[in-house]
Amino acid sequence: MTTTVPTGTPPATAWRADPYTDALRTGRGPLFLRRADGWMLPLEVERWCADPDEADLTVLEHCRGPVLDIGCGPGRLVAALAGLGRPTLGVDVSPAAVARTVGSGGSALCRSVFDPLPREGSWGTALLIDGNIGIGGDPRALLSRVAQLVAPNGLLIAEAAPVDVDERVEVRVVDGEGTLGVAFPWARLGLRALLVCATETGWSHAVPWTVAGRTFAALSRG
């Protein structure tokens, strides 16, 4: 399903607002992304705040060189890579996410992926995990930006939605009590849509895999 993105609140503002901040501080949900039609996507806050699981470990195994985790959330992957002695930086627009990442032993900046970032053009691997292909609601713009961040032989590891979907919508974060955050644009791509979008933005040599119901693709530039 494809829909048009209405003009909404900038994502950075949305993710700094409650109830997302409260959930990250406590490490607990329930938390959802809610579309205007009432459909809700569960956000796995407890998993994000736990140690890397079986599927996450396969992502870590694919990483090469210094790693940039885009939309790092509470930083489980950043902390795990740092524990392995890998140069790693998380970026997230949520101060609560950055604080939790740093508190777990990782390095992180409170910044949008579209802001100037350290080591542009030299990251060995960029990560878009936990639905972060949806950042900004425009996957083509996001993938083009990531291409500017990684080295010419760099790698992008992106997680696809577990269903065949190609969706651009306006959503709000909502908690279990119905408290709504502000509206912002978001996107969801299944594997097929992700690979099409990647090809259109110059990414190639896709290596997809699925573990524990989660699907990923490792993409390179040539």
Residue 129 has pLDDT above 70, yes or no: yes
CATH of the domain at 159: 3.40.50.150
- Which pLDDT tens digit goes with each residue over 132-143? 999 999 999 999
| Alpha helices (H) in 20-116, listed in sequence order | 20-26, 45-48, 54-62, 76-83, 95-103
Half-sphere exposure of 42 (CA within 13 A, CB side): 8
User: 185 lies in a domain?
Assistant: yes
In the DSSP assignment, the letter for residue 27 is T
Those residues with Cβ within 8 angstroms of residue 25's Cβ, 6 or more apart along the chain or in another chain: 96, 100
Residue 41 has pLDDT above 50, yes or no: yes
Residue 21 has pLDDT above 60, yes or no: yes
122-140: average pLDDT: 98
User: 120 lies in a domain?
Assistant: yes
Which tokens go with 194? 């992700």
Spatial strand order of the sheet with 31-35 comes to 40-42, 31-35, 166-175, 184-189
113-133: average pLDDT: 98
Which tokens go with 111? 């910044």
User: 3 lies in a domain?
Assistant: no
| Structure confidence at residue 11 (pLDDT) | 54
User: 171 lies in a domain?
Assistant: yes
User: 177 lies in a domain?
Assistant: yes
Strands (E) across 31-120 are located at 31-35, 40-42, 67-70, 88-92, 108-110
Is the separation of the CB atoms in 217 and 208 below 8 Å? Answer: yes
Is the separation of the CB atoms in 126 and 154 below 8 Å? Answer: yes
User: 112 lies in a domain?
Assistant: yes
* Number of domains forming the structure of the chain: 1
Cis before residue 42, ω within 30 degrees of 0?
Answer: no
Distance CA 58, CA 211 (A): 8
Tokens 């993938």 map to which residue? 143
Helix or strand or coil: residue 119?
coil
User: 6 lies in a domain?
Assistant: no
Give the domain range for residue 200.
11-220
- Which pLDDT tens digit goes with each residue over 171-216? 999 999 999 999 999 999 999 999 999 999 999 889 999 999 999 9
User: 2 lies in a domain?
Assistant: no
| Structure confidence at residue 205 (pLDDT) | 84
- Which pLDDT tens digit goes with each residue over 73-102? 999 999 999 999 999 999 999 999 999 999
Distance CA 169, CA 18 (A): 20
53-77: average pLDDT: 98
Is the separation of the CB atoms in 187 and 193 below 8 Å? Answer: no
Helix or strand or coil: residue 203?
coil
| Structure confidence at residue 3 (pLDDT) | 32
Average pLDDT, the chain: 92
Residue 158 has pLDDT above 90, yes or no: yes
- Of the listed ranges 6-20, 40-54, 65-79, 152-166, the one predicted with least confidence: 6-20
Is the pTM of the predicted complex or chain greater than 0.75? yes
